[in-house]
Chains A and B, each alone.
Chain A
Amino acid sequence: METKLREGKGSAALRRSEPLRLRTELKAILYLIPFLVPFAVFYLWPVLRGAWMSLHVWGIQGMEKYVAFANYKKLLTNSDFYTYLWHSFYFVLLCAPTVIILGLALALIINQNIWLRTLIRSAFFLPYVLSVSVISFIWLRLFDAKNGPVNAFLHLFGLPADIHWLTDHRFVWWAITIATDWWTVGFVMVLFLAGLQEIPADHYEAAKIDGANAWERFWHITLPGLSRVMKIQIFYQIIACLKLFGQVQIMTGGGPGDSTNTMIRYIYVTGFKKDMFGLASAQSMVFCVIMLLIAVIQFKITDRSNG
């Protein structure tokens, strides 16, 4: 009796998937609506709206006039744009490799059987839960040229003169990188730890029997075992670095001069300080295209390794 009922249900379910039935569709879509409404209003619409706005002269009061691609022309012939774009990528080059290497090193240390393992892991992860304004405040003061502990510490090792971390263009990017690495490396570490746990222990046993040393085991077992997490991390960090805003806004205000002005801060200043929404939208669209290109590259790379 019961099996018969089940069979009936099963074949009904099979038949259901064949024709496009409006009722089934609507019933399922109903469950998506609570997500789709804010998603459409605060994500999809702004993306399209931004494209539209970028074709206009647009002030804080609203649209002024249609100018076709004049904003893009203005943007792409302005050397500031390329400078700030380069700053954003320069930060990627500084921050992404350092945070990934440091995160991997910390994960390898924590993965050993060390004393106070949980406590030490917490110390590494703790900064990540603080907000960008808190960490920027702390490092703003730590890097203070005259009263900051960073210089005090370096003086112990014989640094002859004060380093003006945040006002000297030679050091300012390193200061921001150090603050950012300290803030986010715990996150990278946790992800690598999860990746390390997935590598089967018997691979290491087998390698030991074959006489592989620690370095060979790292190079031939650990690194390949982490390749999936590594790829995700590289792209995640590239995108996170390109979005740099809070740290420079608070620690340097884009200075000294405009040497730490980034893409996002450029959009912010053009839109909200100079009230040029149309031009700022054009800058945003360029930024969107860069983001999409990175996503395409990421998709191609991860797809190839899976197939």
Chain B
Amino acid sequence: MNKVLLNIIAVVLALLFIFPLVWMLLVSLKPDGVSVYSLADWVNWSDLNVDNYVKVVRDSPILRWTWNSLVIGVLTTVISILVSSLAAFSFSKLPFRTRGIFYLVIVSGLLIPTEAILIPLYETSLHLKLIDNMWAIILPGLTNPIGILLLKQFMDGVPKDYIEAAQIDGSRNFRLWWSICLPLTRSAMVSVGIFFFILSWNNFLWPYLSITSEENMILSAGLPTFLSNNTMSLNLIMTASAIAAIPTIIVFILLQRHIVQGVSMSGVKG
């Protein structure tokens, strides 16, 4: 009896959780001006069509923004992982005296969020002529030290014997990293990479400030411009949201296991 009740609660909660997304999809498929309010609206599927999608894709740079988000996300993730892995290798496998000081400096990066340094970050980017350029989003995205902390833990697990054996064979440090540590920490890199990608894809405040022209925007920062555009009806705004959400949802369904693992790994340690 108790068991059945628990199951019912779980299913009802799950339905409540996906309700906003289902509603968004339904509204986006209704003709312009038609709302989904009463129960009758919910079950009336006769007027569903994709006109709104055609309109949004045609009249706004939303596909361009999706592409920008993708390029920036992939570049940030790949560069972040390589750079973090190199640093993690140095901390984990190279005995040097000043490592403690460097480690402390890098970990201090966890203390102050981007939100607290917006103004000087903007000023610095202005000086470097990065404003309205995708590197204005990518470069500050590389300063997150969490990748180093996580990858270092996994590199600590690479057996000393492997490293010593390779050293006897005359391998240089770079080869130790490239052909031993990198392949052995591959699964950790996937998890950290997914975490970085989600962070970049959903990054809002800094792209919102640092990108000024419509064509260079990324999806998350571009969407709010629909609000200031008065010609956009309820249905079209939901369509734009759906276009932004659908790729994310598909990727989530495909990579679910890795995403949950990556997020929980980064979150538990952070």
Contacts and interface: CB of A to CB of B under 8 A. Distances in A.
Interface of A: 5-6, 9, 13, 16-17, 20, 24-25, 27-32, 34-36, 38-39, 41-47, 49-50, 53, 106, 109-110, 112, 114-116, 119-134, 137-139, 141-142, 144, 147, 149, 152, 182, 187, 190-191, 193-195, 229, 232, 236, 239, 243, 245-246, 249-250, 264, 267-268, 271-272, 277, 280-281, 284, 287-288, 291-292, 295
A126 B122 contact: no
Contact of B95 (A16, A49, A112, A287): A16
A-B pairs with the 10 shortest C-beta distances? A31-B90, A28-B96, A46-B120, A131-B220, A123-B14, A50-B120, A49-B120, A28-B94, A133-B223, A131-B202
B50 interface: no
Interface residues of B, number: 96
A283 to B, nearest CB: 9
B168 A131 contact: no
A120 B97 CA distance: 50
27 contacts: A25-B96, A29-B96, A30-B90, A31-B90, A32-B87, A34-B82, A39-B106, A39-B109, A42-B140, A42-B143, A47-B117, A49-B124, A114-B6, A116-B11, A127-B20, A129-B251, A131-B219, A132-B202, A137-B240, A138-B241, A182-B20, A190-B260, A191-B268, A280-B118, A281-B119, A281-B120, A284-B118
Nearest to B20: A138
Contacts of A121: 260
A272 B209 contact: yes
Given A42-B139, A120-B10, A243-B113, 20 more contacts: A41-B124, A41-B139, A43-B117, A46-B123, A50-B120, A114-B10, A120-B11, A124-B13, A129-B259, A131-B219, A133-B221, A134-B245, A137-B238, A182-B17, A194-B268, A264-B205, A287-B116, A288-B117, A291-B112, A291-B113
Main secondary structure of the interface of B (DSSP, over half): helix
